[in-house]
Amino acid sequence: MPDFTFPPRQPVASSRLPLTLISLEDWALVSVQGADSTSYLQGQVTLDVAALPAEKHLPCAHCDAKGKMWSNLRLFHRDEGYAYLVRRGLRDTQVTELKKYAVFSKVTIAADDSAVLLGVAGFQARAALTNRFAALPDAQTPVIQDGDSTLLWFGTPAERFLLVTTVEKASELKQALEGEAQLNDSQQWLALDIEAGLPVLDEKNSAQLIPQAVNLQALEAISFKKGCYTGQEMVARAKFRGANKRALYWLAGKAGRVPEAGDALELRMGENWRRTGSILAAVQLESGDVWVQAVLNNDLEAESVLRVQGDEGGQLAIQPLPYSLAEA
């Protein structure tokens, strides 16, 4: 990706976020093109790719044969085929795994480092983008193609936009919003994803978790009706045999340090603390609060008190997610 990284500032919760232009250097774009792109992806990811409309983007998982996720992706139509977003640190490993059987299909899978990834969020984000593009995506049409740009709409935790665009267009937008929007790096987008309950999988947690352990079944990311794909048997068993005992949580509170992916938590049980769960991502906000995205047992009481392992002064509480985990 072209060097389009903004100076870091501590993230802010969506309810207090001023208009912000965000560089997404921690995410990467991958292009999937060719006559067999739909059928190939259909056999590799949890989403029903053949049913994905041109105007929609959805999350999905790319699993190993045991149903454990190499990564989670956000897939959408771009050019004559597809593109997806993945965490940059996982991209090379994930692309290598996805390409394993591509030699037998008319499909080209390649990292796209020519595009710039930008987020636009905060106060009057839509107004800031009005007239900058021919049309803007919304709840009814979450994907808009505009020349070399693809615009994605997100409704949670508050309206925000992800732009896949050219260096020229990104520079033009930055200049147009100068003095109106503050700049921030990927940590702000990460905070918004944590608040929205959208799983963020990095290297430490790759090939460790089934899709349901990070709530993907609640995010339209898994089709239980389509044909075979890698890991399908284990993903289906987790649903139909109740094999999944974990869920993704958003925790907020105080911590002596910002934990890293793969770190453990502790659950307060009376006067004692018991090790539990695994952290996917964490950020410290401008307010000093720490937000943690973690995978924990799915039967935790809402009022449970947790902390980062060994953090004697820390205390984290479960926050409500903007979607339900109740089975349809």
Binding positions for folate are 27, 189
Q: How far apart are CA 25 and CA 268, in angstroms?
A: 37
Closest CA to 60 of 251, 255, 212: 212
Q: How far apart are CA 258 and CA 247, in angstroms?
A: 21
Q: How far apart are CA 83 and CA 33, in angstroms?
A: 8
The DSSP symbol for 90 reads H
The DSSP symbol for 325 reads -
Burial of 93 (0-12, 13-18, 19+ CB in 10 A): middle
Residue positions in the annotated binding site? 27, 189
- 225, HSE (Cβ side, Cα atoms, 13 Å): 5
CB 113 within 8 A of CB 119: no
Give every CB contact of residue 65 below 8 A, 6+ residues apart in sequence.
230, 231
Q: How far apart are CA 219 and CA 28, in angstroms?
A: 21
Strands of 270-313 (E only): list them: 272-276, 278-284, 290-297, 305-308
Q: How far apart are CA 156 and CA 250, in angstroms?
A: 14
